[in-house]
Structure 1
Amino acid sequence: MGLSCGGKCVKFFLVVINIIFMLLGLGILIPGILMLADVDVINDEVLPLLQQLSFGALNVGDLAKGLSVTLIVFGTFVLIVSTLGCCGAFCQQRCCLIIYAILVLVFFLAKLVVVILWFVMNDKIQSWMKTELLKQLQTNYKNDDLNTHEISTAWNYMFMSLSCCGVNAVTGTTNDFDNSVWISSAGSKHIPIFCCTGITASNYASQTNTACTDTVTSGYHTKGCYDATYDSLSSYSTAFIVVGVCTLLVEIVAFIGAIIIIKNGGEDGKSLSGAAKMV
């Protein structure tokens, strides 16, 4: 016995759902690729600083690069699974549908845990990141150049690439650099030259701007590097959360649709109980 009229409707719906699932897979894959290629946040110059920000046994630098690669792999896997479900529904292949339903259920549970943890831990992670950045700036920022000290160089590239200065927003001569190692050798400067607008890796050595570095009255980046980093990363996290929640809803519908088609009969017309005996 073939599918009933309702079963045929579910079959068509499941095909459509898996096409949407493919698009959501691309929605995970593409931000992962963009995040990996984002030279402002994760580049070889800034990476040494991010690797100093340890969270348990992990560090932000390796975690950020690993996350982007994970998203690329995961997005590709979602595309493969959605193709399996689409073919299983269209051709009424019970074996494909059973495998598909199991994988979708596993994906659903795993992503549900991740989404919950993200919302629960988000505020704590933000507070930790700002504290760690400030600690690194005050203890490891030592040189106003690009070749003397690796961590200082990473900070200076961050100032240029993200158009930021310090950790918190700079509003005058009293700022995060006051308690840094660098300030004792800074002379009349209150912020490094890399906090000034128009500074690049090729011209910083020949540039002077006392209104920026000494009096901190004009020509400097007012945004703190914590806000700049968070804004840059949150542009991706927002996309991940939206895609993740939509994917969860689609997975619920896809799982139910696959079970309905299996129960109503595959291409050989056997019921779910018959399929279970064969397995």
Structure 2
Amino acid sequence: MGAPPYEEKETCGTVCLKYLLFTFNFLFWMAGGVVMAVGIWTLVEKSDYISLLSSATYAASAYILVLAGAIVMVTGVLGCCATFKEQRKLLRVYFVLLLCIFLLEILAGILAYIYYQQLNEELKQNLRETMVKKYKQPDEDHITKAVDKLQHEFKCCGSNSSSDWADSVWVRTTEAVSRKVPDSCCKTPTIGCGHRDHPSNIYKVEGGCITKLENFILEHLKIIGAVGVGIACVQIVGMVFTCCLYRSLKAEPY
């Protein structure tokens, strides 16, 4: 007479776990879209600035988020199927995918943190050289576009200061038409405005574009790291629910 109440209790527990896991999977699927969106936004909207960096770590972190986000969305659907079909094999696959995504997002967070530490030194070593040697040079259109966008949007001129352009390969050519700085340095950009290197005409920002670009990338690294680690922590809850449901299904008689 004691068996039926026990079975009913186990069944109610399983039903609760199923709905908890289903709710988690729905939220997890939405989070996957957010993760993928952050990664795509970083790669598409900020791709010009990525071309100014010598290291691929920043881009790699974004690619990992895109990959993890795509897998998260697929995994969320698989999790719903595994939950309602009550198939232990599907639950095992789901758990393994959750674990893989967890590791990917932790990796993205770690890469973002490591690059956060070395970004200043990289910019100091490479940004000035990139700007003075590659601006307006053959087959370097992406660099030219990135430099012009950087100086115009961040209201800065040169890597450390506008005087950096005195060493530019482009400034020394006839193509520059005696410009002292690119027109993108001007407060009111017009064709040929770079002839006059004066504070009333061009941006004289302390720290130059290095400081502006560094602050910009650091903010985005914080977002990438926070999203990756935050979603990874949420996944721990999903893995716990999955283990509980798996054990509950295993314990039920057929």
Identical amino acids, percent of aligned pairs:
25
Cα distance change on mapping 1:104 and 1:36 into 2, 3 Å: same
- The residue number in structure 1 matching 2:3 is none
- The residue number in structure 1 matching 2:148 is 156
Deviates more, 1:25-34 or 1:78-87: 25-34
- The residue number in structure 2 matching 1:14 is 21
| Mapped partners of 1:151, 1:251: distance in 2 | 39
- The residue number in structure 2 matching 1:276 is none
Residue by residue, what CA displacement relative to the aligned partner does 1:104-161 show, whole Å, maximum 9, x if unpaired? 1122233223323432342113321332102223444478xxx897477343354335
State the SS of the aligned residue for 2:188: coil
Cα distance change on mapping 1:100 and 1:228 into 2, 3 Å: same
| Mapped partners of 1:180, 1:158: distance in 2 | 17
1:104-253 equivalent positions in 2, closer than 5 A: 104-141=98-135, 150=141, 153-154=144-145, 155-160=147-152, 162-168=154-160, 170=161, 175-181=163-169, 191-199=181-189, 203-204=190-191, 207-208=192-193, 213-220=196-203, 222=205, 224-253=208-237
Cα distance change on mapping 1:95 and 1:233 into 2, 3 Å: same
Q: Which runs of 5+ in 1 are unaligned?
A: 272-279
Question: Normalised by the size of structure 2, how large is the TM-score?
Answer: 0.75
- The residue number in structure 1 matching 2:4 is none
Mapped contact 1:195–1:221 kept (Cα < 8 A): no
Cα distance change on mapping 1:183 and 1:218 into 2, 3 Å: same
Cα distance change on mapping 1:70 and 1:141 into 2, 3 Å: same
Q: Are residue 42 (structure 1) and residue 47 (structure 2) matched?
A: yes
Mapped contact 2:91–2:242 kept (Cα < 8 A): yes
Mapped contact 2:105–2:228 kept (Cα < 8 A): yes
Cα distance change on mapping 1:25 and 1:105 into 2, 3 Å: same
Mapped contact 1:29–1:76 kept (Cα < 8 A): yes
Mapped contact 1:33–1:68 kept (Cα < 8 A): yes
- Tell me the CA shift for residue 179 of structure 1: 4.3
Residue by residue, what CA displacement relative to the aligned partner does 1:24-63 show, whole Å, maximum 9, x if unpaired? 101112223323431xx325xx77xx27x433xxx58xx7
Look up the equivalent residue of 2:42 and give its one-letter code: M
State the SS of the aligned residue for 1:265: helix
Q: Are residue 78 (structure 1) and residue 72 (structure 2) matched?
A: yes
Question: Normalised by the size of structure 1, how large is the TM-score?
Answer: 0.69
Deviates more, 1:107-116 or 1:74-83: 107-116
1:62-77 equivalent positions in 2, closer than 5 A: 64=59, 71-77=65-71
Q: 1:87 aligns with which of 81, 87, 108?
A: 81
* Number of corresponding residues: 243
- The residue number in structure 2 matching 1:99 is 93
Look up the equivalent residue of 2:108 and give its one-letter code: V
Mapped contact 2:40–2:62 kept (Cα < 8 A): yes
| Mapped partners of 1:24, 1:89: distance in 2 | 19
- The residue number in structure 2 matching 1:275 is none
> Whose helix proportion is higher, 1 or 2?
2
Mapped contact 2:28–2:76 kept (Cα < 8 A): yes
Cα distance change on mapping 1:19 and 1:221 into 2, 3 Å: farther
| Mapped partners of 1:148, 1:84: distance in 2 | 46
| Mapped partners of 1:32, 1:88: distance in 2 | 28
Q: Which runs of 5+ in 2 are unaligned?
A: 1-6
Look up the equivalent residue of 1:12 and give its one-letter code: Y
